[in-house]
Chain A
Amino acid sequence: MTTTTLAVLVPLLPFLGAAAGLLLGRTAPGFVRPLAVLPTLAALVLAVLVAVRQGGDAAVDAATELTPTGSVPIELAVHIDGFAALVAVLVGVVASCVQIYSTGYLRDDPRYPSYAALVSLFTSAMLLVVYSGDLIVLLVGWEVMGICSYFLVGHYWETPEARAASIKAFLVTKLGDVPFLIGLFALAGDTGSFRITKILGAVAHGGLDHPTLIALLLLAGVAGKSAQFPLHTWLPDAMAGPTPVSALIHAATMVAAGVYFIARLLPVFETSSAAMVVLAVMAAVTMAGSGLAALAQDDIKRVLAYSTIGQLGYMTGALAVADRGAAVFHLLSHGAFKALLFLAAGAVIHAAGTNSLAAMSRMRNLRDRVPDAYWTMTVALLALAAIPPFSGFFSKESVLGAAEHVSTGHTEHAPAAAGWIVLLSGLLTALLTAAYAARLWLLAFRGRGADAPDHGRQPLTMTVVLWVLAVPSLALGGLTYRLLPDWFDGRDLTPTLTTSVLGTGLALIGGLVTYAAWRHTTALAARVPLGAVAAHPEGDAGLVEAEAIASHTPAYGNIAYAPDPADPGRLLLGPLHHSAAVGFHLDAVYRALFVRPVQAAASLVRFLDREVVDAYVRGAGALPRWLGAAVRRAQTGNVQTYVSALLAGTVVLAVAAVLVATGA
């Protein structure tokens, strides 16, 4: 088979798996698990084959036009360069791990068939985005991911949090998708094609008339999909979905799509230095803000969600300094360790029976209950905090190195301002990342108090994938940073000495400060008892998690926050803690700015409809009703009245007839 055929099969197999799973889920439940796991595994194997055949050489391009569609042709095209090949492998690995993990995590879930099919569809849509060489085909995958995230985040739709979160995820990403669509049309209007290769060719010859406008419109869609400020608010709330879905959304699909899209079309963004500065500012605000917010979260998954936002900030930061190699390198290593973090967090939540760090910090021996999750999560957190030699170190240093490269005067592709913004915020975020990673680890695994409840061992399917993902989290960066430039643009990804020392030093400072604060506050934990655990600890992990999410607000007063004086984050953030816990009141601002006006406009429309439009309708009905009431009075039921009227009529007719006959 040619590389093109293989590449077409990669997104097609999970799609067929999803269709078969949805069709057979009810009638043949025995086939559901194979149908969920095998197509995804096959797609992974094929993606690896495609990557091997492509080998970082010239891009593989193929296109076929099904039917003429008017002015700008839409073609079914694949465009596989080194970025596409490697990102597809990452998507395949993470999706396969998530599917295998889900068979254990949701083993008793009655909605598992539809869940597994939607995960397959999600995977297939992401693979379509990755391989597509045509922007409209890419948009199809992009939107399918939007609707899949809506269904999967709302998997526990019995809980109001999940319902609200799924609608929020859908609406916020759609808010970005509208400008994105307009941007795509504007881009096609300027360059005359939806094909990525043709667009890049046109851009190289200066064929773009409105670069800033197009870049900003596309950025809006990317901000929505990749959860960048100011459209990031859906991502922490999306934690109301099952943990494997969070792993899938955060590591490989959905949020990665935005970054990947900019990486593909980076020359378009490079033509506008204003767009690059906007991208840099967006990345800086996202990074720093999410780091502070992550330090104040109580839900273990919300900490990870904010950390995803921050790491995506690193990727957009790398794109803002025009180094897509560094961005995709960080995307790959982040995909591995973030998937691992979420899957391990799922195991921890199952074992602890709660998703609250405050409650976990009052449990002794939680790490002995989940040894696999403990060790792998330690590896992943070290990777997240960018401690050498874990993979996160190399990818993050490549981003910081690229920013430093631009800020020291190499401004052919990106303005120096963007370089400085990304560099400084990146260093600050390195400090914050290490701080919240340390806080999470200390609170979850170094708790003191009563023994953690024993809910038995995790299923093998849930622990094996953790070790599978621990390998790339540990070694991906160190082994590949010399090889990857051949696959990417050829730019060096080796860490530079200055940023490595600065970044690692700041990370160590962050970790040590958090440790000191934790030593200081942990004595308080014994004095303030806190915590609620799931009502059905013997259920499968999905049930435990759904109950933990549903009980967080009643138990602690807020979905993101716990009144825990023993929290080191509270000491570190000081007066900022409360606003950081609620995401710097951004939801309240949106509520005041958008939700309330929309609701007020809706009530105005309702008033106009009920009181103004309906007044005419009711008036049109009232006149005939009054006439009818008047005529009805004649219907007395008395036969003699009727006969009298008959007589009167006859007389009148007779007189008239006589008058006519006599000609009077």
Chain B
Amino acid sequence: MHLAYPAVLSALLFCTGLYGVLARRNAILVLMSVELMLNAVNLNLVAFDVWLSKTAEETLHSGQALTLFTIAIAAAEIGIGLAIVLAVHRNRGTSDIDKLRDTAEGPGPDGSGSDLPDSDALTAEQAEKAEASA
């Protein structure tokens, strides 16, 4: 099989995952998209390992070993990620990423009281827009 097929497939998978990470609002779907990207990388690793081992006299199949390693890491990561999502959901009643904006820059230290409702209204408006576009 020509190397182009798995490479194109993995590129498609990676782009799908990237789109998911950037555009999905549900945290679980974002985690799934991360998995897609990881697996696109895994696919690449395996394909290129096989391609390299054709020409090499002797190989350790380090690509495939690294894939196994990545799968193990990904499993751990998804476990922790889902646990965080569960905890957040239990605390906040939602796992919508757009609504988890605790790190947003609030009204500045010199901001007066009148700035506060304004910026709140702004974020609420942005949230509405994001909801509409999703």
A7 CA to B98 CA, complexed, in Å: 93
Q: Which of A197-205, A356-364, A593-601, A630-638 interfaces with chain B?
A: A630-638
Residue from the list B18, B101, B110 in contact with A638, Cβ < 8 A: B101
Query: Is A66 on the interface with B (CB-CB < 8 A)?
Result: no
Residue from the list B18, B22, B104, B110 in contact with A636, Cβ < 8 A: B104
Contact at A640–B101, with CB atoms within 8 Å?
no
* Chain B residues positioned under 8 Å from A632 (CB to CB): 105, 108
* Chain B residues positioned under 8 Å from A629 (CB to CB): 108
A457 CA to B21 CA, complexed, in Å: 101
A92 CA to B76 CA, complexed, in Å: 98
* Chain A residues positioned under 8 Å from B103 (CB to CB): 635, 637
Closest chain-B Cβ to A68's Cβ sits at a distance in Å of: 59
A647 CA to B18 CA, complexed, in Å: 9
Residue from the list B22, B97, B123, B126 in contact with A644, Cβ < 8 A: B22
Query: Is B73 on the interface with A (CB-CB < 8 A)?
Result: no
A-contact 0/1 string along B74-86, CB 8 Å cutoff? 0000000000000
A636 and B97 contact, Cβ closer than 8 Å, known pairs A643-B21, A647-B18: no
A639 CA to B108 CA, complexed, in Å: 20
* Chain B residues positioned under 8 Å from A640 (CB to CB): 21-23, 30, 97
Sort chain B's interface into a size bin: 10 to 19
A498 CA to B37 CA, complexed, in Å: 127
Closest chain-A Cβ to B90's Cβ sits at a distance in Å of: 20
Residue from the list B22, B102, B110, B126 in contact with A643, Cβ < 8 A: B22
Query: Interface residues of A, CB < 8 Å — how many?
Result: 14
Query: Is A574 on the interface with B (CB-CB < 8 A)?
Result: no
* Chain B residues positioned under 8 Å from A635 (CB to CB): 103-105
* Chain B residues positioned under 8 Å from A643 (CB to CB): 21-22
Contact at B104–A637, with CB atoms within 8 Å?
yes
A631 nearest in chain B by CB position: B105
* Chain B residues positioned under 8 Å from A30 (CB to CB): none
Residue from the list B30, B102, B110 in contact with A625, Cβ < 8 A: B110
* Chain A residues positioned under 8 Å from B105 (CB to CB): 632-633, 635-637
Closest chain-B Cβ to A648's Cβ sits at a distance in Å of: 11
Closest chain-B Cβ to A636's Cβ sits at a distance in Å of: 6
* Chain B residues positioned under 8 Å from A628 (CB to CB): 108
Within 8 A of B (CB), among A600-650: 625, 628-629, 632-633, 635-640, 643-644, 647
Contact at B97–A639, with CB atoms within 8 Å?
yes
A-contact 0/1 string along B111-134, CB 8 Å cutoff? 000000000000100100000000
A644 nearest in chain B by CB position: B22
A637 CA to B127 CA, complexed, in Å: 11
Closest chain-A Cβ to B31's Cβ sits at a distance in Å of: 12
A482 CA to B105 CA, complexed, in Å: 96
A-contact 0/1 string along B88-106, CB 8 Å cutoff? 0000000001101111110
A633 CA to B100 CA, complexed, in Å: 17
* Chain A residues positioned under 8 Å from B23 (CB to CB): 640
Contact at A638–B98, with CB atoms within 8 Å?
yes
A621 nearest in chain B by CB position: B110
B30 nearest in chain A by CB position: A640
* Chain A residues positioned under 8 Å from B110 (CB to CB): 625
* Chain A residues positioned under 8 Å from B108 (CB to CB): 625, 628-629, 632
B-contact 0/1 string along A638-664, CB 8 Å cutoff? 111001100100000000000000000
A633 CA to B104 CA, complexed, in Å: 9
Within 8 A of B (CB), among A548-584: none
A643 CA to B105 CA, complexed, in Å: 17
* Chain B residues positioned under 8 Å from A637 (CB to CB): 100-105, 123
* Chain B residues positioned under 8 Å from A638 (CB to CB): 97-98, 101, 104
A584 CA to B9 CA, complexed, in Å: 108
Contact at A647–B22, with CB atoms within 8 Å?
yes
A636 and B21 contact, Cβ closer than 8 Å, known pairs A625-B110, A628-B108, A629-B108: no
A632 nearest in chain B by CB position: B105
B27 nearest in chain A by CB position: A639
Closest chain-B Cβ to A577's Cβ sits at a distance in Å of: 61
A604 CA to B22 CA, complexed, in Å: 61
Within 8 A of A (CB), among B6-24: 18, 21-23
Of the candidates B100, B105, B123, B126, the one having the most CB atoms from chain A within 10 angstroms of its own CB is: B105
A566 CA to B98 CA, complexed, in Å: 92
Of the candidates A635, A638, A643, A644, the one having the most CB atoms from chain B within 10 angstroms of its own CB is: A638
A643 CA to B30 CA, complexed, in Å: 12
A642 nearest in chain B by CB position: B103
A639 CA to B30 CA, complexed, in Å: 11
* Chain B residues positioned under 8 Å from A625 (CB to CB): 108, 110
* Chain A residues positioned under 8 Å from B104 (CB to CB): 635-638
Within 8 A of A (CB), among B23-72: 23, 30
* Chain A residues positioned under 8 Å from B126 (CB to CB): 636
A644 CA to B22 CA, complexed, in Å: 6
A633 CA to B115 CA, complexed, in Å: 13
B-contact 0/1 string along A133-164, CB 8 Å cutoff? 00000000000000000000000000000000
* Chain A residues positioned under 8 Å from B102 (CB to CB): 637
Closest chain-A Cβ to B104's Cβ sits at a distance in Å of: 3
* Chain A residues positioned under 8 Å from B18 (CB to CB): 647
* Chain A residues positioned under 8 Å from B101 (CB to CB): 636-638
B104 nearest in chain A by CB position: A637
Closest chain-A Cβ to B88's Cβ sits at a distance in Å of: 12
A639 nearest in chain B by CB position: B97
A637 CA to B100 CA, complexed, in Å: 7
Closest chain-A Cβ to B98's Cβ sits at a distance in Å of: 6
* Chain A residues positioned under 8 Å from B30 (CB to CB): 640
A638 CA to B21 CA, complexed, in Å: 12
**A632-B108, A637-B103, A638-B97 given; 13 more Cβ-contact pairs under 8 Å:** A625-B108, A628-B108, A629-B108, A632-B105, A636-B104, A636-B123, A636-B126, A637-B105, A638-B104, A639-B100, A640-B21, A643-B21, A647-B22
5 A-B pairs within 8 Å (CB atoms) are namely A635-B104, A637-B101, A638-B98, A640-B23, A644-B22
For the complex of A and B, the 3 pairs showing the least CB-CB separation, nearest first, are A637-B104, A637-B101, A635-B105
